[in-house]
Amino acid sequence: MGNILILYDSATGNTRQMAEFVASGAKSQNHNIRLKSIQQANKDDIIWCNGVAVGSPTNMGIVSWKMKKFWDKLGDELWGKIDGKIGCAFSSSGGWGGGAEITCQSILTILINFGFLVFGVTDYVDKNLTLHYGSVVAGEPRSESEKESCRRLGEKLSLWVSNIITDSKDENM
Amino acid sequence: MGNILILYDSATGNTRQMAEFVASGAKSQNHNIRLKSIQQANKDDIIWCNGVAVGSPTNMGIVSWKMKKFWDKLGDELWGKIDGKIGCAFSSSGGWGGGAEITCQSILTILINFGFLVFGVTDYVDKNLTLHYGSVVAGEPRSESEKESCRRLGEKLSLWVSNIITDSKDENM
Amino acid sequence: MGNILILYDSATGNTRQMAEFVASGAKSQNHNIRLKSIQQANKDDIIWCNGVAVGSPTNMGIVSWKMKKFWDKLGDELWGKIDGKIGCAFSSSGGWGGGAEITCQSILTILINFGFLVFGVTDYVDKNLTLHYGSVVAGEPRSESEKESCRRLGEKLSLWVSNIITDSKDENM
Amino acid sequence: MGNILILYDSATGNTRQMAEFVASGAKSQNHNIRLKSIQQANKDDIIWCNGVAVGSPTNMGIVSWKMKKFWDKLGDELWGKIDGKIGCAFSSSGGWGGGAEITCQSILTILINFGFLVFGVTDYVDKNLTLHYGSVVAGEPRSESEKESCRRLGEKLSLWVSNIITDSKDENM
């Protein structure tokens, strides 16, 4: 049994809604789940988790400054000490083509920098929607397939965490 | 009056359709337009143009190998000699979240490497569709707003080329 | 005669040193130059400039949260109204392979989002050092070639601004 | 005991040298190792491996067209069927700032697209050299720290493969 953190920043509530669906999907395996905004989360949540899904609004194609601040501050104490966790990304943008994929990529870049193993999902949740670099939605997650995209990310995170928790906990903190 | 090249690789015809709409938009200013596939184009087209829109199918989130080959080969002769041209990107993917934005980014990376000035477009062509890093479509461009996204890219390319052709032609080749 | 802004965030002083060399290079053409930290700069500097070089320390492979905050806040008022300016990037990292190039890319992503035309430089300033996606230095700019890399970025920015100022000022604010 | 593939494309021999050091580091755990160029490797090597290190020369800031072709062709048969493997990247460029990090990122993008879990390494192998997004070298790996950077990548890959092989082999092919 492992520990999974869904960590989000949300300005309009759209990314928060995504986070809830991701959390719902993450329950597919028998792990402990924490759903927290960056206002609620702290370094202990990061140390605690074996896997994390990080969500941010799409702001100029890069993770929001508030989410970046969270990880920049965290780095002062934890960087280099928490390698080997699993990570993934999700983002809500103003429209398709607005940078949600690239924002997910910026989140993955941060997580890779921390030594995490990051992933996307090959599944199509609808004939026109997938989540190859993390879940992306234009606006709020309204359609069933958009909600399923978020849940699927959580499910996959949950699955990969099951695969690695045996050993990696021993080596890292 | 400047020269604009619309250069594309297309496997299924979707990216070719996009290219045609981009070319249509590029006609908004009084420039010479060439619409060519990578099979039709050669280094003289690149030397000739002041601005280029490069389109590729979304293949694994990175420009297709055929398009990459075009620029890798071109580099042997022209790299370092064609700085200062204007560039932009477009891509058709299998679905939203499938990597079209990231593919556009890979195209822009190649163009930046050649010393080009690259851009995206801030405009929303519909309440849910924009082209901040280039035009992106899931499948073929079917809706009016998807077609308009391609045309808008061409229009903007045309506009930026108008702004720079006076001087940059003198300095480069 | 155009207006060039060198905008930087610096934690240790390394990025500030880079900024000074970029500013020095930018003087190669007869433009007005402003060298400002994000604490000193405001939206009027952004409106004023025709071209901007943006520098950030490499923090987790993405622009520092302070620099991101600057652009996120700016966007509330100016986004969509300042398209067509010229932009480029520079970054100081802890070591080669530490993410300075990727941090430059994150800066370019932000600038592209604002509708700017962004560029890198093809020139090698030494047999082992170039600035294809912006100037990058490990630590402070110590060697002559590292300093020259920063100056070259400024020179190129200055040159591209000369090429576009005639028209773009009329269309944008 | 798991299976590790070191897969490379090399034009000048520099990336091949890197690949050999990566392979040497990968032997730190008791895994089976295959070191293959893209001319030598085929889809069976990809199916066989639990983890892969992919190396490419830095060509225009994006993986070489030959390496891209390898994965594009592979996708026709294997995409969506080999999720959950571990992946990492390495690249040799013409100079620092020449795009080696961004090339590594393009490799990671491809691997993420295939559903792999990708990583970088937090360790500094020297006070001025690290491999946060994969091993990067300007030219050939000459200094001891550059060689160690490659070996460290292999070691880390070997370690992460040890952590996941128990379960993931059952689920994927």
- The alpha carbon dihedral of C100, C106, C108, C111 has a sign of negative
> Rounded distance, CA D106 to CA D111, Å?
9
| Number of separate domains in chain D | 1
Is the model's pLDDT at B171 over the cut of 60? no
Under the banding of pLDDT at 50, 70 and 90, the label for residue B30 is very high
The question of ipTM being above 0.90 is answered as: yes
Chain B: list its partners (3+ Cβ pairs within 8 Å).
Answer: A, C, D
Nearest CA among C42, C70, C43 for reference residue C55:
C70
By CB neighbour count within 10 A (0-12 exposed, 13-18 middle, 19+ buried), where does C110 fall?
Answer: buried
Chain D residues in contact with B106 (beta carbon < 8 A): 62, 106, 109
For residues B95 and B108, the answer to whether their CB atoms sit within 8 Å is no
> Rounded distance, CA A60 to CA B119, Å?
14
Q: Does B126 contact A101 at a Cβ distance shorter than 8 Å? A: no
Q: Which domain holds residue D83?
A: 3-171
> Which pLDDT score, from 0 to 100, does residue A155 have?
98
In the block, tokens 């928060």 appear at A16
Question: C102 forms bridges with which residues in the sheet?
Answer: none
Is the model's pLDDT at C166 over the cut of 60? no
In the block, tokens 């801030």 appear at B122
C62 touches chain A (CB under 8 A): yes
Name, in order, each residue with C-beta under 8 angstroms of B146's C-beta and a sequence gap of 6 or more. B129, B137
Is the model's pLDDT at C170 over the cut of 60? no
Q: What is the pLDDT of residues C80-131, one digit of tens each?
A: 999 999 999 999 999 999 999 999 999 999 999 999 999 999 999 999 999 9
Question: A121 forms bridges with which residues in the sheet?
Answer: A131
* Per-residue pLDDT of chain D in tens (173 residues, 90 and over written 9): 899 999 999 999 999 999 999 999 999 999 999 999 999 999 999 999 999 999 999 999 999 999 999 999 999 999 999 999 999 999 999 999 999 999 999 999 999 999 999 999 999 999 999 999 999 999 999 999 999 999 999 999 999 999 887 544 444 43
Which residue in C100, C130, C138 is closest to D95 by CB distance?
C130
By CB neighbour count within 10 A (0-12 exposed, 13-18 middle, 19+ buried), where does B83 fall?
Answer: buried
Nearest CA among A112, B130, B133, B73 for reference residue C105:
B133
Phi, psi of D28 (to 5 degrees): -65, -30
Chain C: list its partners (3+ Cβ pairs within 8 Å).
Answer: A, B, D
Helices (H), A98-143: 100-113
- The alpha carbon dihedral of D158, D160, D163, D164 has a sign of negative
Nearest CA among B98, D72, B11 for reference residue A122:
B98
pTM for this model (two decimals): 0.96
What are the DSSP E strand ranges found in chain A? 3-8, 32-37, 51-57, 86-93, 117-118, 121-126, 129-131, 135-138
Query: Percent of chain B at pLDDT above 70?
Result: 95
Q: Does C71 contact A60 at a Cβ distance shorter than 8 Å? A: yes
Structure tokens, B70: 């075009």
* Per-residue pLDDT of chain A in tens (173 residues, 90 and over written 9): 899 999 999 999 999 999 999 999 999 999 999 999 999 999 999 999 999 999 999 999 999 999 999 999 999 999 999 999 999 999 999 999 999 999 999 999 999 999 999 999 999 999 999 999 999 999 999 999 999 999 999 999 999 999 887 544 444 43
| CATH code (residue B111) | 3.40.50.360
Structure tokens, A141: 């997650």
In the block, tokens 């090597």 appear at D45
Nearest CA among B30, B163, B61 for reference residue C116:
B163
For residues A67 and A106, the answer to whether their CB atoms sit within 8 Å is no
> Which pLDDT score, from 0 to 100, does residue B168 have?
46
By CB neighbour count within 10 A (0-12 exposed, 13-18 middle, 19+ buried), where does C105 fall?
Answer: buried
> Which pLDDT score, from 0 to 100, does residue D59 have?
97
Interface of B with D in 89-128 (CB under 8 A): 99, 102, 106, 109-110, 112-114
Q: Does D133 contact C96 at a Cβ distance shorter than 8 Å? A: no
Give the closest-approach CA distance of A14 to chain B in angstroms: 14
Supply the angle between the helices C100-113 and C65-78 in degrees, to the nearest 10: 10
**Residues written for chain B:** 173
State the DSSP code for A96: B
> Rounded distance, CA A116 to CA C76, Å?
33
What are the DSSP E strand ranges found in chain C? 3-8, 32-37, 51-57, 86-93, 117-118, 121-126, 129-131, 135-138
